[in-house]
Structure 1
Amino acid sequence: MGSEHYGLEPSYAGELNAEKGGKPEVLGDTDYANATVAVETGDGGIAVVPEKTALKRTLHSRHIQFIALGGSIGTGLFVGSGPDLAQGGPASIIINFTLVGTMIISVVFALGELGAVLPVTGAFSTYASRFIDPAWGFAMGWNYYMQWLIVLPLEYTVSVIVLRYSDWVDRTDVVPRGVWVVIFLFIITFINLFGVKGYGEFEFAATFIKVITIIGFIIFGIVATCGGVKGGKYDTYQGAHTWYDPGAFNNGFKGFCYIFNTAAFAFAGTELVGLAAAETANPRKTLPKAAKQVCIRVVLFYVVSLLLVTFLVPYNDPRLQDGHGPSTSPFVIALSDAGQRGLASVLNTVILISTLSVANSAVYGSSRTLLALAQQGLAPRFLAYVDRQGRPIICVLISLVFGALAFLIYSSSESTVFSWLLGLSGLSTIFSWGSICLSHIRFRMAWLKQGNTLRALPWASPLGIYGSIFGFIFNVLVLVANFYVYIWPIGEGSMTKTDRAYTFFQNMLAVPVVLCFFLAWKIIKRTRVLSISEMDVHTGRRDPVPEEVLEQERAEARALPLWKKIIDAIF
């Protein structure tokens, strides 16, 4: 797009789109038209019009960076890593989390590029509809919506388990489990009364607590590994003895593949920075910074902390599988074995805060995805209602009501509910990540094919198209690995056919769900894969910036002193 279009304000986008009915409209209330957005006109040209969106853009740089840094750190890391360590061994869990973390960096870099140039409502499903196939966009939209809808009661369930097995709460059900669910429902509802601002502020505070806790645990882990913790198990040098006795791997290749699903669940939510782009004040500059934070998160919060855990807790520790809730957490076990019961209780509290943080993210992710589906005509139009405070109130209420599924703790054991919901959610994430990578690949191809240059992008992924190719292929391999490990599960020799079928469907249900959505929309609407030349890579660009402005910013960045460049590269 040339600079001659920059700042123009022709007639409302809806009129421009009328001649070419397939182009997205800029919807919403004129009260929030405080920015400009690009649209592709009926004759194929590009115009810049006042942006009209009912969503308020009140998320700032600190919110987005903290959401990227640790917004989804929760049960996947603190609790889910326990069974992973038991089933796969220390080497398997470190290799898995490193591989999945590397893939996540590719995904978030791709998403950072897409979000910086096209900060549209719905992000993932919108990109899939515009750059792959409308039917795939439909499937990905509903898949992502269901993923977060499921996470909400899952986190409520885990919160109840955390409380019931914490030292500072009575375990005898004097306070019924349902009462705790109601309390958590009330807390999350109260936060969402404040719209996206409430989401951002709560995530900022919760992430700060989680980050400080993990850094503190890393310091403890280093000291304990060196034998510097007196009064407990770690008063002599530990080193990496657990990697030799009982060993680095457990259950062979199956044990290795088993961890992929939980690792995906542990990283789920990283992509929320892309969804939040539509409510971010300056996505062009904020999203690239947030994408860089993911590298720190992968290396420091996951790989380093888990590596230290594997030095302190052997995979054959019976508490990793025989306990309940946080008592299966290797982090809690390590602190308890060190004689730090007080710190173990503090960590339980942080786990509780983490579950509420992820529950809050679940309401945000599900409600904004449903809003985008409604705006695109992929869900009933009444769901597109946004009140004057910028809240998609109907979508939020539906998500909050669905959280009542957590009351299933009365009809089944908490662990059974946890397992079913985890299986559904974890695999759904793989589909979303693969779709983001494929959307980025095809966007890049269309961007260049239509005469644009990479220098015209507000921010380009440092890994380029090859990073997205790696991310897409890796996600496919993870799906294959999951299929393998649940067709022939660990311990299959002692399982009945019914047990094996139960395990398979419990963990692979997301696959037929996605395929049903895709094929149904494909057949009903007779959609096709979009060609590179017909893709619309401009509609939705907010405040399109001329190349000369971008070049000036890059020149200023190159002129910075070395220390400043290093800080900017990391943060």
Structure 2
Amino acid sequence: MPTTNSPPDHSSTDTMPHVVKDEKSPAHGMESLALVDEGTGEFEEVTAVRQGLHQRHIQMIALAGTIGTGLFLSSGRAIARSGPLGAFLGYLVMGCVAGTVTLTVGEMGALVPLNGGIVRYAEHFVDPALAFANGYNVVYSYLVSIPAELVAAAVLVQFWSDLNSAIWITIFGLVMVLTALLFVRVYGELEFFFSTLKILLIIGVNIMALLITCGGGPTHESIGFQYWRHPGPFVQYLGIDGALGRFLGVWTALNNALYSYSGIETITVAAGETRSPRQAIPQATKRIFIRILLFYVISIFMIGLVVPSNDPDLDSSSGTSSASPFVIAATRAGIKVVPSIINAVVITSAWSSGNSNMLGGSRVLVGLAMNGRAPRVFTQLNRFSVPWVAVSLYGLFMALGYMSLSSTANNVFNWLQDLVSITTLTNWLTILVTYLRFYYGCRKQGISRKSLPWAAPLQPYISWVALVLLSLLLLTGGYSTFIHGHWDNETFVSSYINIPLFLILYFGYKLVCKTKIVALGDIPIQPFIDIANRNPEPLPKPKQGWHKLNVLWD
């Protein structure tokens, strides 16, 4: 798609093109791919919005856009419950799963660059009912995760101020809504800036942890692997002795890591607003594993070196930055200035992650509305070509953050975190199922994967492994409640309530709309390939000078 095309201006009452029935579609009776602009041969939805996200925006969002309170706060809980080695293994394994999910969604997104991400792919490659069920699962996830990030940002401010959290929730929320209502380019620039801060913070705290470990702190005490020897590399989770207790600790760390990685798959939800998406999305996806290793796995490893798993502040109920392992490490080493710096950047990270969720959530809702699975009003665009009604809905649900005023903020944050984790798990399972249907659809129809805009490596093997592991996590998410003496209402509800809700949405939609699973031979893959071939994108400029040293993004 040429980047020189300028989309028309839109009034506040304009809506995106709607989908119509296509009797010639290979999947007869299914809603068509989307309306195609006769002049450009591209999706009309793509020409209706502004392509305000550049290569550097989409790649930086993929690099660090979703790094938020999951890494900076809840990682402490992982170490407290699993031990340094247990937490490291949990983040390593779940990092491989998150990378696999991102690869699959990147391959589908490069072929189908429409807003909504998995909602659009599931509709064409599996069953419109699956798109409906998972679409509202994702919407629900975003409705919960945005207040969670707001609560985290608000309570972190209490590191310096005693003002009521409601003030900060209101301020951060209003700024977030106003940002989301402006040009998507504004969002891209803000995410680029805040993601840069997050990367610098992660690099800084890891260097700090290395210096502390080697005796470079104010106390000049060399720690080495002292905390791996005592209290030990693993924690006997729930007080269960032996190998079982250690295994349960590692298994629990997988759920903690799941929350930290949530949102990493959202690089395609705004594909319709990304310039040259068939190049930008693959480039943002190719190095996902090295990014996960550098920013998540190494960070959790370094934290485990400088903070003992039995430190009472790691799993504290204060709900403030004292529960951040980075702050605990600096405080234990006698470094006085660093905690405030870390706290300030973590606040921006929480706000940035919420801002990223605002974009993703509104575009998923638009994707549902485009095909009649949500009210058409959510497709209305303002003068900046932003779906303002969808953004406003998420703004209203920010009020969930005020629940922290009637309970401890930490309890509210933990509830919201658990709810986000289970919806993320369901979303990832849907992505993998959809991708495998797409993969075997290509094989059934004799379509070479070389004809796709981009094909992910090691498929379908890594997708099957990830699918099995995530299925086990879904079924065992609330296992601790079935151990005598460990029943917990919050854990049980947050672990399992999403399963019946998802099934009700799926089978309810099938019953009402009479949808069927699309046969492998009828999946409309070739028409998408034809659209991509009719719209070649300009080749990227070769790297010049010091840019050749950049190994993280293109």
TM-score by length of 2: 0.88
- Contact 2:105/2:431 (CA < 8 Å) preserved in 1? yes
RMSD: 2.9
Give the match for residue 144 of structure 2: 150
Secondary structure (helix, strand or coil) at the match of 1:458 reads coil
Query: 1: distance between equivalents of 2:226 and 2:534?
Result: 58
Q: Which runs of 5+ in 2 are unaligned?
A: 1-16, 238-244
Give the residue type in structure 1 aligned to 2:226.
H
Contact 2:20-2:34 within 8 A present in 1 as well = no
Q: Deviations over 1:50-100 (max 9, x none)?
A: 666422211111001101101011111110011111111111110010001
Offset at 1:268?
0.9
1:442 is matched with which residue: 437, 444, 450? 437
The reply on whether 1:37 has 2:28 as its aligned counterpart is no
Partner of 2:425: 430
SS in 2 for 1:89: helix
Q: CA separation in 2, counterparts of 1:382 and 1:170?
A: 41
Distance in 2 of aligned mates of 1:482 and 1:367: 28
Superimposed CA distance per residue, residues 512-555 of structure 1 (whole angstroms, 9 cap, x where no aligned partner): 222221122122223232210111124555852289x89x999x
Q: 2:22: which partner in 1?
A: 17
For 2:309, the aligned partner's letter is: Y
Match of 2:225 in 1: 240
Looking at structure 1, the residues matched to 511 and 90 of structure 2 have their Cα atoms a distance apart, in angstroms, of 38
* Residue 195 (structure 2) pairs with residue 186 (structure 1): no
Which structure 2 residues correspond to residues 164-563 of structure 1 after superposition, within 5 A?
164=158, 166=159, 169-171=160-162, 175-230=163-218, 232=219, 235-250=220-235, 251=237, 252=245, 253-322=247-316, 323-488=318-483, 492-493=484-485, 495=486, 499-539=487-527, 544-545=532-533
Which is worse superposed, 316-325 or 71-80?
Answer: 316-325
For residues 111 and 259 of structure 1, the distance between their equivalents in structure 2, rounded to whole angstroms, comes to: 25
Q: C-alpha distance in 2, partners of 1:480/1:95?
A: 20
Which letter maps to 1:17? D
Alpha-carbon spacing, 1:519–1:79, altered in 2? closer, same or farther (3 Å)? same
For 2:341 and 2:529, locate their aligned partners in 1 and report how far apart those are by CA, in whole Å.
45
CA distance in 1, matches of 2:223, 2:164: 42
Cross-structure match for 1:59: 53
Q: Is contact 1:68-1:290 (8 Å) kept?
A: yes
1:314, CA displacement in angstroms? 0.6
Match of 1:46 in 2: none
- For 2:530 and 2:497, the matched residues in 1 are separated by 38
Identity of aligned residues (%): 32
Change (3 A) 1:380 1:316: same
Q: Is the 8 A contact 2:452 2:529 kept in 1?
A: no
Residue pair 2:116, 2:368 contacting (<8 A) in 1 also:
yes
Assess, with a 3 A threshold, how the Cα gap between structure 1 residues 542 and 502 changes in structure 2: closer, same or farther: same
Work out whether residues 478 and 491 of structure 2, in 8 Å CA contact, stay in contact via their aligned partners in 1: no
1:116 aligned residue (95, 110, 120): 110
Equivalents in 2 of 1:438, 1:26: separation in Å? 22
Residue in 1 that maps onto 2:133: 139
Q: 1:111 Cα deviation (Å)?
A: 1.3
1:219: how far off?
1.3
Hey, what's the Cα distance between the residues in 2 that align with 1:299 and 1:542? 36
Deviations 1:482-511 (A, max 9, x none): 1423433xxx53x4xxx5334311333322
User: What secondary structure, in the 3-state scheme, does the structure 2 residue paired with 1:227 have?
Assistant: coil
Other structure's SS at 1:17 match: coil
Mapped partners of 2:195, 2:526: distance in 1: 34
Deviations 1:310-350 (A, max 9, x none): 01101000111224322111111001112222111100011
Contact 1:155–1:359 (Cα < 8 Å) also in 2: yes
**In structure 1, what residue type is equivalent to 2:221?**
T
Deviation at 1:478, TM superposition (A): 2.0
Q: Give the partner amino acid of 1:36.
A: G
The residue type paired with residue 92 of structure 1 is: G
Q: Do the aligned partners of 1:335 and 1:343 also contact (CA within 8 Å) in 2?
A: yes
Question: Whole-Å Cα distance in 1 between the matches of residues 552 and 74 of structure 2?
Answer: 32
Count of aligned positions: 523
Task: Determine the C-alpha separation between the residues in 1 that align with 2:503 and 2:18.
Answer: 34
Query: Is the alpha carbon distance of 1:286 and 1:470 closer, same or farther for their aligned partners in structure 2, counting shifts above 3 Å?
Result: same
Distance 1:80 1:568, change over 3 A: closer
Matches of 1:440 and 1:564, distance apart in 2: 34
Cα deviation, residue 292, structure 1:
2.4
Aligned counterparts of 2:529 and 2:400: Cα–Cα separation in 1: 39
Structure 1 residue 405: Cα displacement: 1.5
| Paired residue type of 2:375 | P
- Distance change >3 Å, CA 121–CA 321, structure 1 → 2: same
Tell me how far apart the structure 1 counterparts of residues 278 and 49 of structure 2 sit (CA, whole Å).
18
Answer whether contact 1:487 1:500 (CA < 8 A) is retained. no
Equivalent AA in structure 2 for residue 537 of structure 1? I
Tell me the TM-score normalised to structure 1 length. Answer: 0.85
Cα distance, 1:568 vs. partner?
Answer: 7.2
Shift of 1:25: 5.5
Q: Per the alignment, do residues 523 and 477 of structure 1 end up closer, same or farther by CA in structure 2, a change over 3 Å counting? A: same
3-state SS of the aligned residue for 2:314? helix
Distance 2:21 2:398 in 1: 41
Structure 1: gaps spanning 5 or more residues = 1-11, 39-49
Cα 1:299–1:534 shift into 2, 3 Å: same
C-alpha distance in structure 2 between counterparts of 1:16 and 1:23, whole Å: 5
